[in-house]
Amino acid sequence: MSFETIFPVVLGAVMGGFINGLAGFGTALFALGFFLNVMTPEQAVAVVVILSVISGMQGLWVVRGAIWDRAGRMARFVVPGLVGIPLGLLALSVIEARTLKLVIAGFLMLYGGFFTLRRSLPRFERPTPVADAGVGFLGGILGGAASLSGALPTMWCSMRPWPKAETRAVLQPFNVVILGVTALMLALRGVYDGQTLLYLAVALPCALLSAQIGITVFKRLSDDLFRRLLIGMCLVSGTILMLREVL
Q: Splitting the chain (247 residues) into consecutive groups of 10 residues, what average pLDDT does each group show?
A: 87 92 84 86 87 90 90 94 88 74 85 76 80 94 80 87 90 91 86 93 96 93 88 88 85
Confidence at residue 167, expressed as pLDDT on a 0 to 100 scale: 92
pTM equals 0.83
Secondary structure percentages of the chain, helix, strand, coil, to 5: 80, 0, 20
* C-alpha of 191 from chain center: 21
Confidence at residue 119, expressed as pLDDT on a 0 to 100 scale: 67
In degrees to the nearest 10, what's the CA dihedral of 50, 52, 54, 55? 150
Confidence at residue 155, expressed as pLDDT on a 0 to 100 scale: 86
**Measured distance CA(163)–CA(223) in Å, rounded:** 5
Confidence at residue 124, expressed as pLDDT on a 0 to 100 scale: 76
Contact between 245 and 105 under an 8 Å Cβ cutoff? The reply is yes
Confidence at residue 122, expressed as pLDDT on a 0 to 100 scale: 67
